[in-house]
């Protein structure tokens, strides 16, 4: 519900009219107008086999050297070890990014013998110093590859290998809490009438183009999954691109109004100037309906207040009911704090098996 609005839509037809108005207005808020034309899908392999292992190990060692306390935060998932056989090929690839910026980098995993397989973007969180990026996501991408899904885990702008290294010494001195490169890019975007989130979502649309172009994938079975920053990007991508056939959002949902009311602080990529004059997260996420959506929240999440979580949950239940698609929406609330606990990860795997 937008700021100043007296009520949310109360019937299906009212919601559909409102959803159409929101969709028409979003390009101006995200990109300052129509987004750039996306390039034809193409990629090059940067590393595979032992070269990939060296690259991945180097990224994790750098994180341990710079921000050892953050690795303790990730102790359940980093380093990730898969107990079963490796039945997929792993490559580090590059493909086009936002015009005028360096190419995107991503980890592509393709199951052996895959033919018309489901394919997902697997989206990382907001690590200290923007350090981890896509190397964080093996804990989701590997189990998905093991059940036959093609996965693409990109570094978001400006994370991982895409950092600008603007103020590395200051970043380390602040224990990775400056997020200086993010400030630089977000500020540039705002000055140009754009948003960092808009650029990130456009790049994820390019990632979907790439997945659709692969002979191993089924272009009609595209999905997305992410936690924290990756959860936010997953619901935004699903709302903006109808090619997403199923989505899992972890620890990335509340309302902007609750952020203001409870003085919650979030990363700069989240902020779209003027968004509350159009809609809040409940209606933005409602644009995904009737497509399958699993939302995994945490009751003690300091970044995503509980009051906002409940408002979004109630609204989405109504929207999916209006669309005669109640079976395509599921919400799960974990009693703990910000994260993606194993019980919810198992639930996500089962959901994607069923829906994709």
The full set of domains in the chain, from first to last, is: 12-355 (3.40.50.1820)
Q: Strand pairing partners for 108?
A: 91, 152
pLDDT of res. 244: 98
Cα–Cα distance for residue pair 160/220, rounded to 1 Å = 30
Q: What does the chain come to in residues? A: 356
* Residue pLDDT tens, the chain, 356 long: 666 565 678 899 999 999 999 999 999 999 999 999 999 999 999 999 999 999 999 999 999 899 887 777 788 788 889 999 999 999 999 999 999 999 999 999 999 999 999 999 999 999 999 999 999 999 999 999 999 999 999 999 999 999 999 999 999 999 999 999 999 999 999 999 999 999 999 999 999 999 999 999 999 999 999 999 999 999 999 999 999 999 999 999 999 999 999 999 899 999 999 999 999 999 999 999 999 999 999 999 999 999 999 999 999 999 999 999 999 999 999 999 999 999 999 999 999 999 99
pLDDT of res. 8: 76
Q: Which residues of 46-66 are buried (b: 16+ CB within 10 A; e: fewer)?
A: bbeeeebeebbeebbeebeeb
* Residue 233 CA: distances (Å) to CA of 46, 65, 117, 133, 216: 25, 28, 23, 13, 25
* Through-space distance between the first and last CA atoms of the chain, rounded to whole angstroms: 30
Cα–Cα distance for residue pair 153/200, rounded to 1 Å = 13
Q: Which runs of E-coded beta strand occur in the chain?
A: 44-48, 88-95, 104-111, 117-123, 150-154, 217-227, 244-250, 293-298, 329-334
pLDDT of res. 72: 75
Cα–Cα distance for residue pair 163/105, rounded to 1 Å = 11
Taking residue 89's Cβ as centre, other Cβ atoms within 10 Å add up to 16
Residue 228, φ and ψ in degrees, nearest 5: 65, -120
With CA atoms as reference, report the closest residue to 190 among 271, 276, 278, 260.
271
Residue 299 token pair: 């009751």
Longest dimension (CA), the chain: 59
pLDDT of res. 44: 98
Cα–Cα distance for residue pair 352/248, rounded to 1 Å = 8
Residue keyed to tokens 């602080």: 265
């Amino acid at each position: 519900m937008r700021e100043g609005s007296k009520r949310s839509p109360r019937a299906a037809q009212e919601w559909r009219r409102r959803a159409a108005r929101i969709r028409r207005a979003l390009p101006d808020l995200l990109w300052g107008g129509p987004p750039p034309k996306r390039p034809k899908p193409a990629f090059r392999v940067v590393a595979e086999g032992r070269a990939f292992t060296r690259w991945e190990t180097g990224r994790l060692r750098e994180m341990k050297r710079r921000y050892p306390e953050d690795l303790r935060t990730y102790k359940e998932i980093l380093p990730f070890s898969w107990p079963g056989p490796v039945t997929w090929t792993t490559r580090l690839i590059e493909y086009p990014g936002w015009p005028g910026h360096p190419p995107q980098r991503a980890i592509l995993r393709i199951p052996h013998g895959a033919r018309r397989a489901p394919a997902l973007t697997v989206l990382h969180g907001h690590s200290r110093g923007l350090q981890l990026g896509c190397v964080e996501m093996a804990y989701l991408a590997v189990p998905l590859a093991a059940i036959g899904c093609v996965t693409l885990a990109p570094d978001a702008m400006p994370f991982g290998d895409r950092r600008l290294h603007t103020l590395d010494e200051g970043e380390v001195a602040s224990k990775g809490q400056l997020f200086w490169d993010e400030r630089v890019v977000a500020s540039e975007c705002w000055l140009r009438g754009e948003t960092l989130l808009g650029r990130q979502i456009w790049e994820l649309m390019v990632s979907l183009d790439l997945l659709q172009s692969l002979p191993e994938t089924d272009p009609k079975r595209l999905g997305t999954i992410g936690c924290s920053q990756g959860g936010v990007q997953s619901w935004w991508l699903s709302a903006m691109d109808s090619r997403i056939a199923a989505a899992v959002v972890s620890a990335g949902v509340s309302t902007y109004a609750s952020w203001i009311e409870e003085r919650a602080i979030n990363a700069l990529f989240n902020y779209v100037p003027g968004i509350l004059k159009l809609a809040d997260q409940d209606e933005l996420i409602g644009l995904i309906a009737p497509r399958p959506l699993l939302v995994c929240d945490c009751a003690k999440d300091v970044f995503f207040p509980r009051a906002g979580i409940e408002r979004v949950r109630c609204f989405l239940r109504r929207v999916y009911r209006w669309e005669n698609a109640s079976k395509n929406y599921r919400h799960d609330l974990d009693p703990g704090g910000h994260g993606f606990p194993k019980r919810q990860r198992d639930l996500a795997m089962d959901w994607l098996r069923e829906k994709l």
